[in-house]
């Protein structure tokens, strides 16, 4: 299989896996991707080596097969909403070795404390 085709299949597989947090039978994934079991096995091994899935032996339709359990999750940016950095005038020069640093930044500190307090209110 060509490297570019494998990379494209990998990307498609990851999209499908993100929709199946509980896991998906590898045969179902191959079917959705329109690839052979040989190509699919190579892809699954690659995904496992990268730490994207865990392959688990399961009994399905009276046959042993492998289920691919995703070890990745969709990124949820919502905890970052309201962070002061995107609108901060110091942003272009802010970083660990820059003239301005997040360490000791009162804006980020206030935001973290406020977010924590608001999160605690939602829980209680």
Binding site residues, ligand SF4, CB under 6 A:
84-85, 88, 90-91, 94, 100, 102, 105, 107-108
Q: Provide, rounded to whole angstroms, the least separation between the CB of residue 99 and ligand SF4.
A: 10
CB 67 within 8 A of CB 26: yes
Q: Is the dihedral of CA 116, 121, 122, 124 positive or negative?
A: positive
What is the C-alpha to C-alpha distance for residues 18 and 21, in angstroms, rounded to an integer? Answer: 6
CB neighbour burial string for 91-116, b if at least 16 within 10 angstroms, e if fewer: eeebeeeeeeeeeebeebeebeeeee
Of 19 and 110, nearer to ligand SF4 (C-beta) is 110
Of 60 and 112, nearer to ligand SF4 (C-beta) is 112
Q: Provide, rounded to whole angstroms, the least separation between the CB of residue 94 and ligand SF4.
A: 3
Of 36 and 91, nearer to ligand SF4 (C-beta) is 91
Q: Provide, rounded to whole angstroms, the least separation between the CB of residue 93 and ligand SF4.
A: 8
């Amino acid at each position: 299989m060509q490297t570019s085709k494998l990379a494209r299949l990998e990307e498609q597989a990851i999209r499908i896996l993100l929709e199946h947090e509980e896991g998906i039978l590898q045969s179902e994934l191959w079917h959705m991707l329109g690839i052979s079991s040989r190509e699919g096995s190579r892809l699954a091994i690659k995904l496992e080596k990268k730490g994207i899935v865990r392959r688990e032996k399961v009994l399905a339709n009276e046959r042993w097969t492998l289920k691919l359990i995703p070890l990745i999750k969709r990124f949820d940016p919502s905890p970052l909403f309201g962070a002061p950095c995107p609108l901060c005038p110091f942003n272009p020069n802010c970083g660990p070795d820059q003239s301005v640093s997040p360490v000791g930044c009162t804006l980020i500190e206030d935001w973290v404390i406020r977010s924590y307090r608001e999160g605690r209110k939602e829980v209680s």
